[in-house]
């Protein structure tokens, strides 16, 4: 099982990422764009994900993934239960969410 500390370690290793506490939620941003957010109890993580693909993701693995809250459905966003994933999958989810929000040049420089 991964923890909020794992999320923090991975997210903060990515260029231009900042951490903020907003309404009792830890959020990770690039500028003003939030690409990750932890639930207040730190058991779930919301992350940037293409709207067009999220229904398929949730339906394929409903034990891991959840649709965003109704107030977040307009955004490119989905949620995951941290207890259901390992560190490799967490890293992949975070890096892909980050790539959606950071300039392509920055992603290319960081990822090689």
**How far is Cα 62 from Cα 18, in angstroms, rounded to an integer?**
30
Q: Dump pLDDT digits (tens) for 80-102.
A: 999 999 999 999 999 999 999 99
Q: Dump pLDDT digits (tens) for 5-39.
A: 999 999 999 999 999 999 889 999 999 999 999 99
**How far is Cα 57 from Cα 94, in angstroms, rounded to an integer?**
15
Secondary structure of residue 109 in the 3-state scheme: helix
């Amino acid at each position: 099982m991964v923890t909020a500390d794992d999320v923090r370690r991975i997210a903060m290793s990515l260029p231009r990422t900042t951490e903020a506490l907003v309404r009792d939620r830890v959020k990770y941003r690039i500028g003003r764009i939030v690409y990750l957010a932890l639930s207040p109890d730190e058991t779930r993580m919301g992350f940037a994900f293409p709207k067009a693909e999220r229904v398929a993701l949730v339906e394929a693995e409903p034990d891991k993934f959840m649709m965003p809250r109704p107030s977040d459905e307009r955004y490119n966003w989905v949620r995951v239960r941290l207890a259901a994933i390992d560190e490799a999958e967490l890293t992949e989810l975070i890096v892909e969410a980050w790539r959606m929000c950071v300039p392509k040049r920055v992603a290319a420089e960081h990822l090689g």
